[in-house]
Amino acid sequence: MTRVALITGTSSGIGLATAVQAAKAGYRTVATLRDLSRAGKLRAAAAEAGVELDIRALDVTEDPSAVIASILADHGRIDVLVNNAGAGHVGTVEQDSIENFRKTMEVNFFGVVQLTKLVMPALRATGGRVLTVTSVGGIVGQPFNEAYCAAKFAVEGMMESLAPLAAGQGVTVSVIEPGAVATEFVNNVGLDIDTAVEAAGPYGDQFRNYVSRTMASFSAAQTPDEVAEVILKAMTDESPAFRIQTSQWAKDFTGLKLTDLDGSAVQKLTGAWVA
């Protein structure tokens, strides 16, 4: 039986690259995205690579049960779920709205929860895998990313708790932690810098420093294809790790937090970003 991979958030970036690489590796790849009108780049990349994709609409913030049922009806199985769909958000809690926090949690956390819940029975049947793209921001809290990091922390906690239970049922759970990636994700945050600095009020200078540091970090960003290679390895390795960083920088960054028992090392580092 041909293995079936379900990948979310494939209109661009990591999701697009992963869908194409998975198809090239022999997976029957179901590539989903919220809006099918944005599938042009995905279709072009698949055509260029000489692969076929099963492209479907799936909004992770809505009930995906009908989509999952149709995938199982058409393909009979799901062997890998790649939770990749997500949305960035920049803001600080004093000035941000509760609505923005809720929206960020809906996309980045609850979307992952409900899709994983629906696909788990199929994965138990195939001895499959759940691979969730989180972020180094799921380990290290970062200034002006309170809502985003909160959602990614929640995903990591949920998956870390699920992993031993899933393993007992034959299902492997891993989280993929990229650092800076050169994707449209940055543009999709939708910031006008000068307007945002002015709107930041007492946090204006700190925000400008944060933006300057962040833009500099993207000058050495990984490509989506490089991250997709790591995801594909997690799809195919016999025993992938639970926590997988996609670069040496990501390993060093998350490693700082995981050995920082009192939090002082992280506060010193991230404090310098806004000083």
Catalytic residues: 148
214: which residues sit within 8 A by CB, 6+ positions away? Answer: 273
User: What is d(CA 1, CA 157) in angstroms, rounded to the nearest whole number?
Assistant: 33
53 — alpha (psi -120 to 50), left (phi > 0) or beta? Answer: beta
Rounded to whole angstroms, the Cα distance separating 183 from 241 reads 25
The candidate with the shortest Cα–Cα distance to 269, out of 254, 74, 202, is: 254
Long-range contacts of 107-113 (CB under 8 A, 24+ apart): 107/60, 107/61, 107/151, 108/148, 108/151, 108/152, 108/155, 109/151, 109/154, 109/155, 109/158, 110/61, 111/8, 111/60, 111/61, 111/83, 111/85, 112/60, 112/83, 112/155, 112/158, 113/158
Neighbours of 183 (CB within 10 A): 21
